[in-house]
Chains A and B, each alone.
Chain A
Amino acid sequence: MLAFLVQRISQAVLVMFVISVIAFAIQDGLGDPLQEMVGMSVSMEEREAIREELGLNDSMVVQYLRFAGNAVQGDLGNSYFYGKPTLEVIFEHLPATLELVIGASLIIMLLSVPIGVYAAIRPQALLAKFFMGVSTVGISIPVFLTAIVLIQIYSIGVTVEWFPVDTGWGQWLNGALSTDGGMPSYGRGDDLTHLFGTWHSGFFSEIGLMHLVLPCVSLASIMLPLFIRLIRAEMMEVLQSDYIRYARAKGLSAVRINFLHALKNTMLPVITVGGVQVGVMVAYTILTETVFQWPGVGLMFLEAITRSDIPLIVAYLMVVGLIFVITNTLVDLVYGLVNPTVKLTGKKA
């Protein structure tokens, strides 16, 4: 266990070192941070003075060494735009993103397992076919489109007048297809509960929860079909295996077989994929946060790029790298719990 953790920590350090080098190497391509800091009519001379002050005129190596020197002491520099330490800025924005990811993950877990298992046990059922059809559509619609459609239907509302309004059934159909809207379409609302540090949560008030619904559903929509299909496929395979047949022959109840013996083995690859998908999720939060003006790290990062806020970009990439390493470590630990035959450091059992 200790050897495993030491190995992972050294991996994390290496990952962050590589990320910081890459981020520094591409910063020239990101544009000139000064453009966002000064007005158009500021003279070249003044610009040069500010550039000098920021140390932007030094060579890349000098800039990197200065950065690395501070980074070793836990100081990742100051954001140009926020005028504050980058880590502080990131930790202010991180809770919003984490809540989005938690909300979306809850939706995914609560829906994908029952639907996936059901579709595996009754592959021929009409409902199962319906779920699989919907999930194919879901996986092929980009997340921002889902978000825009959700906003149109549930925030703005739609009035349908396809059917004749002078007939009773027409009115009923029109009414049934029209929506009033009213769901919040942006931000986190103004009723957040302070938990600790920089964490203000939207999970504890009605307004906060209402604001979470559409972004979480949008984010979940892209991942949910994947998990449904994965669980279904794995489960079907497991159901074919010998030990399930023996269990059946032994006369165990279907519930016990399906949900205890089969599901446990089904979840192994799902956990692995889930760990990898957290990274994909981080990428999709950028899109979701942009559409919903969700004040998380994704939106912050995107804006940092348009502003060429290089210190913030570098710090964000390093933090995300760290998150990747941590989630993968956690996945490996959980894996060991689910399947005791797996050994962490790859040594012989």
Chain B
Amino acid sequence: MKKLLAALVGTMALATAPVALSAEATKELKMAYDADPVTLDIHEQLSGGILQLSHMSFDPLVRWTKDLGFEARLAESWERVDDKTMRFKLREGVKFHSGNELTTKDVKFTYDRLKESQDFKAIFKPFSGINIVDDYTFELVTSEPFPLLLNTATYIFPLDSEFYSGETADGKKKDAIQKHGNSFASGNLSGTGPYLVTSRQQGVRMEFERFADYWDEESPGNVKKIVLTPIKENNTRVSALLSGGVDFIAPVPPTDLERIKRDKNSDLVTMSGTRIILFHMNQERVEAFKNPKVRQAIAYAINQEGIAAKIMKGFATPAAQLSPAGYQGHNESLKPRYDVAKAQQLMKEAGYEEGFTITMMAPNNRYVNDDKIAQAAAAMLARINIKVDLKTLPKAQYWPEYDNRSGDMMLIGWHADTEDSANFYEFLTFCPEADSGAGQYNAGNYCNPEIDALVEKANVETDVEKRTAMLQEVEQRLYDDAAFVPLHWQDLAWASKKNVKVEPILNVMNFPYLGDLVVE
């Protein structure tokens, strides 16, 4: 693991100058995201914005590398004790912003709080407990063998237990997690991360300053101060970069990719993403969708490559399955199967040559070009005589409709919190079951207990090779069954001024590791 770290740091150093190690932080970075973190309490909400903040002001036990491997952070090393137990060694001499020293006591505090958090408890469900061996050694124990233990450990950002314990002046508990309202943790933070929050005006501006006692002295990062301005409007965000008002922006809208590429003062970084966009076909609402041939016909009628090229302007990777490349379940052999003649043939075989009418629903401000994608899909379905009555809604109104399964075909995008294939199946294709929460977003009501059982089996398989085979089989069977209509994985894009070297710190999870950012 250390080698990997050294190699990573090495490549970064090469990109800048050989003396970059433990460079003195002197630079200022102005950046604009589409939103600022909703709270400073990293356990209050599980969202991209909060995880981005977590990587700025806290450090995880381990973190993802660019190629979806693991890199040691606050955990120095780890080893499997048995099927269900992993022993971690904590880095020594790490200081929190408050000056307190990091020990296993803080890890336990954090673990307990995660188990309480409404947003995170689901991810930590497989864990049965944490054993503290000594000040710098602890064990994470799961109730079943758990192949995703390290994936989950990327969510453990140790909190300063002393800082978050006790009561505030008005008698509220400092460690309370409150969704709405002014909890202590939502306005104050103390982590081990590279940046302290020095000022925050919610929705307007946030300032960070490099933590003088940051433990990672090998980090090449040389940014002393970061000013984050949320700029929601795409055009304004791009203008801010082009006019020199900010140094780094994300996300970059597909319509402006060319404009930034042409600009001689800016760099553009794009990456194939992991968020899948798909349509569910509701079998409970439409009798015809129960027939696999009809579902296949729809899968054949939709031109994923056309949507990716024309509507997404190449800013998407056409998909024929849920798992993106790099995930264990990704099945190389599955390709988009656009073929209108075949689709018409299948409709005929199913006895629906005359077609039928359905309703379709999609959000219009949640995913990139979501409403246009739905319009295109509706037009494509007309070619196999399926008449589509399309309704697009703002996200705030769309999700209640989604929960009620109000449309015959509904669009959804999904990103696996665990960066693992199984998460897709659990939420999108499992037989819906209200009690266990399985298939919570399965608006197709597709149900195949055999596939579910296979996923369950993979979930307790710690042998990577065997697990990979199982998950790929799942993808194959879902594909053959046309359980849903996959469209594409949304790409990611960032842009910066030329002297801001963002490429090395970006990754497909969209957590820029700003602590390691080098500005020339």
A82-B231 in contact (CB<8A): no
Closest to B412 in A: A40
Bound form: Cα–Cα A81–B394 in Å: 18
Closest to A85 in B: B182
Scan A115-157; emit 1 where CB is below 8 A from any B CB, else 0: 0000000000000000000000000000000001001100111
A290-B396 in contact (CB<8A): no
B204-A41 in contact (CB<8A): no
Bound form: Cα–Cα A130–B118 in Å: 64
Bound form: Cα–Cα A37–B50 in Å: 12
Please give the distance in Å from B413's CB to the nearest CB on chain A.
9
A306-B395 in contact (CB<8A): yes
Binds B, one of A28-36, A238-246, A274-282, A320-328: A28-36
State whether the Cβ of B399 lies closer than 8 Å to any Cβ in chain A: yes
State whether the Cβ of A54 lies closer than 8 Å to any Cβ in chain B: yes
B118-A42 in contact (CB<8A): yes
A40 surroundings in chain B (CB, below 8 A): 414, 427, 441
B396-A50 in contact (CB<8A): no
* Candidate in B179, B229, B398, B403 with the most chain A CB atoms within 10 angstroms: B179
Bound form: Cα–Cα A156–B244 in Å: 8
Please give the distance in Å from A69's CB to the nearest CB on chain B.
19
State whether the Cβ of A175 lies closer than 8 Å to any Cβ in chain B: no
Scan B203-237; emit 1 where CB is below 8 A from any A CB, else 0: 11100000000000000000000010111110110
A37-B45 in contact (CB<8A): yes
State whether the Cβ of B351 lies closer than 8 Å to any Cβ in chain A: no
* Candidate in B119, B233, B414, B417 with the most chain A CB atoms within 10 angstroms: B233
Q: Known contacts A32-B399, A151-B239, A185-B240: does B229 contact A83 (CB below 8 Å)?
A: no
State whether the Cβ of A44 lies closer than 8 Å to any Cβ in chain B: yes
A184 surroundings in chain B (CB, below 8 A): 243, 245
Choose one: B180, B182, B204, B427; the contact of A80 (CB below 8 Å).
B180
State whether the Cβ of A219 lies closer than 8 Å to any Cβ in chain B: no
B236 surroundings in chain A (CB, below 8 A): 151, 185-186, 290-293
B440 surroundings in chain A (CB, below 8 A): 41, 43-44
State whether the Cβ of B365 lies closer than 8 Å to any Cβ in chain A: yes
* Candidate in A37, A53, A92, A299 with the most chain B CB atoms within 10 angstroms: A37
Closest to B399 in A: A35
B122-A183 in contact (CB<8A): no
A37-B46 in contact (CB<8A): no
Bound form: Cα–Cα A254–B240 in Å: 50
Bound form: Cα–Cα A157–B119 in Å: 45
State whether the Cβ of A75 lies closer than 8 Å to any Cβ in chain B: no
Bound form: Cα–Cα A295–B202 in Å: 10
Choose one: B178, B204, B245, B400; the contact of A31 (CB below 8 Å).
B400
Bound form: Cα–Cα A54–B118 in Å: 15
Q: List 15 A-B contacts (CB under 8 A).
A: A31-B394, A32-B397, A36-B396, A40-B427, A42-B118, A42-B119, A45-B437, A46-B121, A78-B180, A148-B235, A151-B239, A185-B245, A186-B229, A290-B232, A299-B203
- Known interface pairs A83-B186, A181-B244; 20 further A-B residue pairs with C-beta atoms within 8 A, sorted by A's residue number: A31-B396, A35-B395, A39-B47, A40-B427, A40-B441, A42-B118, A44-B434, A82-B202, A82-B203, A151-B236, A155-B239, A155-B242, A157-B243, A184-B245, A185-B240, A187-B205, A190-B205, A291-B236, A293-B236, A303-B203
B interface list, Cβ under 8 A from A? 32, 38-39, 45-47, 118-119, 121-123, 178-183, 186, 201-205, 227, 229-233, 235-236, 239-240, 242-245, 365, 394-400, 403, 414, 417, 427, 434, 437, 440-441
